[in-house]
Amino acid sequence: MYSTDEVTLSVVARGQRRLGADLAIVAAASGESGPSLLGEAFDAARSAELAALLPKLGFKGKAGQTLRVPAGADDAAETLLFVGVGEVKTDVTPEQLRRAAGVGARAATGIDKAVFLFPAESDEAFSAVAEGASLGADAFTAQKSSVSEDAAPLREAVIATDLRAGKELKARLEHAAVVARHTKGARHLVDTPANVLFPQSFTEYAQKSAKGLDVKVTVWDEKKLDSEGMGGILGVGRGSARPPRLVKVDYSPSRAKAHLALVGKGITFDTGGISLKQPAGMEEMKSDMAGAATVLHAALAAAELKLPVRVTAWLCLAENMPGSNATRPGDVLTMHNGKTVEVTNTDAEGRLVMADGLSKASEDAPDLLLDVATLTGAQMVALGERVAGVMGDDAATGAVLEAATLTGEQFWAMPLPENLRADLDSETADLRNSGNRNGGMLKAGVFLREFVGAEGVEGPTWGHVDVAGPAFNTGSPWGFTPKEGTGFGVRTLVGVAEALPSSK
């Protein structure tokens, strides 16, 4: 068994009865003739009985729908929870199972032990159910004075399967536990208020989280940032009483077959600076460090899984405040690679800290360089709140999209048209940090591309991921996704790292 922060995952052979569980969670698909039960959770007679009962109770098997009923004498637990997966066209997909398991786990608050009677007979299905159960069993309670037992997350999730017990099944269970734990770690960082999580405390969190792993943490304080010409990070952070940091989290196994570098935007709170944001919804700007949280936990997960690939996370940490020393519109900053940037909008600050991070990360000549950021509101206008935009070199976007086919996270490839670069021209400096609104997500990527590569080093394959919408859920929980921090991207970045050696 492998434990996450709140839930323990274990396995049981399918067909056993009365497993000592408080709850049995059953998946059901929707259809024109009513819900159909999946996974052979019951014998034929009991299945027919339930198939007749469920529609009378209003349960149709729609995605996310739940219904709790008392169990029969021979059922696997004292209570049954039915969870809808939605319409199944041919076979139920791993992502349908992952989301349904997450819904079941979220509904199982206050429960000690639940058994998941899902169709988990393939490796992919089993992993999806295990991940979904762990991802759904989550609660951020660090800032609460007390938590009732009824609100506590599910403590143990038992996955019923016909797969043969052994090293491979054990490894899949461990993998699911690790990626879920680090996804939830990223969520909880995003949920943490900015008076608790700021550049220095974020740095300390990274140092503490790396203990016990084959990971080296290096920190650039404001003096070291200045000595190395990190004008972007310093420029954004100088309006705050809390100075900025650059943190390198390096997992470098001795026999690494490739090197993945990840750069994360870590604006621990974004007021917009002198270009002040509107007050409505500004409290959500505690989430503007989601990119740094994502790349940190992706690197830590790679280290915990002992992947044969070097993974380096760069956390670009600053607080964007309108203090008396804040960068003003019209100021010119000199970035780490020597290029000068006229700041025409201090609320376009993420690209400034990322520019320094990308330039610095390029010096290590990684095989693949990805940056992750809650960078633009234009991303949400273009792709909504659940789909991230990915752009850059074809090989980089392809690596992300391919990994996402396995994780179920949603990305969409976007272009970086050459004509957009002209709108970033500046009369005063090499370029400016913002232009007109048209193509805002793409224009941010065009800006970042200016800082990929280092003098004397061949430019790495690069991709930019804008997670402004998917990183923070302002709506209701759905699937395995809670309200507020989602941890979006951690699982896909781990998948990119796993596939990188074979792609070289």
**Model confidence pLDDT, tens digit, residues 54-91:** 999 999 999 999 999 999 888 889 899 999 999 998 89
On whether both 224 and 140 belong to a single domain, the answer is no
On whether both 196 and 155 belong to a single domain, the answer is no
Residue 231 falls inside a structural domain: yes
Residue 486 falls inside a structural domain: yes
In angstroms, rounded to a whole number, what is the distance separating the alpha carbons of residues 197 and 190?
9
On whether both 354 and 481 belong to a single domain, the answer is yes
Q: Is 288 annotated as a binding residue?
A: yes
All residues at 6 or more sequence positions from 62 whose CB lies less than 8 Å from its CB, including other chains: 30, 84, 86
Element (H, E) at 374: none
Q: Is 265 annotated as a binding residue?
A: yes
What CATH number did the domain enclosing 359 receive? 3.40.630.10
On whether both 194 and 54 belong to a single domain, the answer is no
Q: How many residues does the structure list for the chain?
A: 504
Residue 256 falls inside a structural domain: yes
Which range, of 153-167, 179-193, 305-319, averages the lowest pLDDT? Answer: 153-167
**pLDDT tens digit sequence for 382-414:** 999 999 999 999 999 999 999 999 999 999 999
Q: Which residues are catalytic?
A: 277, 351
All residues at 6 or more sequence positions from 191 whose CB lies less than 8 Å from its CB, including other chains: 140, 142, 286, 484, 485
On whether both 155 and 192 belong to a single domain, the answer is no
- Average pLDDT in the chain: 95
The answer, yes or no, to whether residue 2 has pLDDT greater than 70, is: no
Residue 121 falls inside a structural domain: yes
At residue 1, the pLDDT reads 39
Q: Is 270 annotated as a binding residue?
A: yes
Residue 174 falls inside a structural domain: no
Q: Which domain holds residue 452?
A: 185-502
Whether this prediction's pTM lies above 0.75 is answered by: yes
Say if residue 281 is exposed, middle or buried (CB neighbours under 10 Å; 0-12, 13-18, 19+).
Answer: exposed
Residue 2 falls inside a structural domain: no
On whether both 194 and 89 belong to a single domain, the answer is no
In angstroms, rounded to a whole number, what is the distance separating the alpha carbons of residues 267 and 353?
9
| 338 φ/ψ sector (left φ>0, alpha ψ -120 to 50, else beta) | left
Domain finish residue from 159, 194, 223: 159
In angstroms, rounded to a whole number, what is the distance separating the alpha carbons of residues 426 and 399?
34
Q: Is 347 annotated as a binding residue?
A: yes
On whether both 123 and 199 belong to a single domain, the answer is no
On whether both 313 and 394 belong to a single domain, the answer is yes
- 63, 80, 60: which is closest to 71 by C-alpha? 80
The CA-atom distances, in angstroms, between 472 and each of 190, 320, 469 are 8, 19, 6
Two structure tokens written together for 75: 């059922």
Residue 171 falls inside a structural domain: no
Two structure tokens written together for 300: 């830590």
Are 342 and 425 within 8 A, CB to CB? no
Helix (H, G, I), strand (E, B) or coil at 123: helix
On whether both 150 and 192 belong to a single domain, the answer is no
On whether both 399 and 486 belong to a single domain, the answer is yes
Domain count for the chain: 2
Q: Is 284 annotated as a binding residue?
A: no
The answer, yes or no, to whether residue 35 has pLDDT greater than 60, is: yes
What CATH number did the domain enclosing 46 receive? 3.40.220.10
On whether both 128 and 271 belong to a single domain, the answer is no
Q: Could you tell me where the DSSP H helices lie in 305-349?
A: none
On whether both 350 and 433 belong to a single domain, the answer is yes
Residue 180 falls inside a structural domain: no
